[in-house]
Chains A and B, each alone.
Chain A
Amino acid sequence: METVKLTDAQRKSRRGRNIALGFVLFGLVVLFYIVTLIKFGNGMAN
């Protein structure tokens, strides 16, 4: 498999994108968790 060495700029930008993606994924986990609580809460109240 042919590979390349990343430049500093490429490594830095990739790290930045990965961190942003990590935040987005964590945000989605929290979002689904809270929505589930709200939906279950409403279901039980009804």
Chain B
Amino acid sequence: MTVIDNHEAVGMEGVARLSEASARDYFELLKPRVMSLVVFTAFAGLVLAPGHINPFIGFIAILCIAVGAGASGALNMWYDADIDAVMSRTAKRPIPAGKILPQEALAFGLTLSAFSVIILGLAVNWLAAGLLAFTIFFYVVIYTMWLKRSTPQNIVIGGAAGAFPPMIGWACVTGAVSIESIVLFLITFLWTPAHFWALALFKMGDYGAVGVPMMPNVCGQATTKKQIVIYAVLTALIGICPTLLGFASIGYGLFATALGLGFVWYSIGVLRMPETDERMLPAKKLFAFSIMYLFVIFSALMADHLIVNVWLNAGSIA
């Protein structure tokens, strides 16, 4: 027996609105692609941190960080449902597609947020849980509700939310925040503007239609392209900091330098792109390269860490 609920769709007044949402639709609310990046960088923080963590506790840490990130994605979709419905990239998301009601997404997001933070605190430590709670708050309130629709610097400041996971992973192992974890944070933080503005360039029409003040729409293509190059250079520089600070080898430093030069190279390609270019291939190439860059730089850090550790262990045994 099902009690009729109070939600009535437009044009369906008087007709009971019962959900046909599948579990998969709810999973889509978690932004799985963004979540995969968060899981990966959080795992990197966990691996790179000095000390030991029980593998199962480590698994729970990653699970909680992933669910927390997913919850903030659901809350973002709840708040942004109006503009998601207009933009081609987001129109098929569960809320604008009519599969899930906004208030269902809100309840889902809040529940998962609470569970992920509390379980991380109980199972791992409360500093990591506090950082996760702050990350969710930062993404939902500071970025989604405040910055996104009010300033072209939205993703520069809001990018911090996406940069916290390796710092949380580090805190899960060490119970502290250190200069090394801040460098891991800065890699993603400084990478975000070039990554997002490349997307914003070839999705200018979408963002313009919904009134989101992305950099290309507000300050123009020329300013955006210059800032992309500046942030690409900063990303390349921060990418070699692990070697300069002594927690990665010279081999990693050389690799990160080459990778950073690639990032700058693609950003210069965008700088040279004429404003009349409608296909914006260089921007699309930079966007694709930027995704690869983040995965590869964190993979390189982990590989370097494991190789150096194996080397040291072999040396100590000998």
Q: Do B2 and A17 touch (CB < 8 A)?
A: no
| Interface positions of A (Cβ within 8 A of B) | 1-4, 6, 9-10, 13-14, 16-17, 19-20, 31, 34-35, 38
* A19 and B18 alpha carbons, distance in the complex (Å): 18
* A36 and B16 alpha carbons, distance in the complex (Å): 44
Partner of B54, one of A10, A20, A38: A38
* A9 and B21 alpha carbons, distance in the complex (Å): 9
* A6 and B122 alpha carbons, distance in the complex (Å): 41
Q: Do A38 and B56 touch (CB < 8 A)?
A: yes
Q: A35-B57, A35-B60 are in contact. Are A17 and B21 (CB under 8 A)?
A: yes
* A2 and B21 alpha carbons, distance in the complex (Å): 22
> Is B176 at the interface (CB under 8 A from chain A)?
no
Interface range for B: 10 to 19
Q: Do B23 and A4 touch (CB < 8 A)?
A: no
Q: Do A10 and B3 touch (CB < 8 A)?
A: no
A residues in contact with B247, CB < 8 Å: none
B residues in contact with A2, CB < 8 Å: 3-4
Extra pairs beyond A3-B2, A17-B22 (12, CB < 8 Å): A3-B1, A3-B3, A4-B18, A6-B18, A10-B18, A13-B19, A14-B19, A31-B119, A34-B56, A35-B56, A35-B57, A38-B57
B142 CB to closest chain A CB, in angstroms? 29
A residues in contact with B20, CB < 8 Å: 9-10, 13
A-B interface, 4 closest residue pairs, ranked by CB to CB distance from nearest:
A20-B23, A13-B20, A4-B16, A35-B123
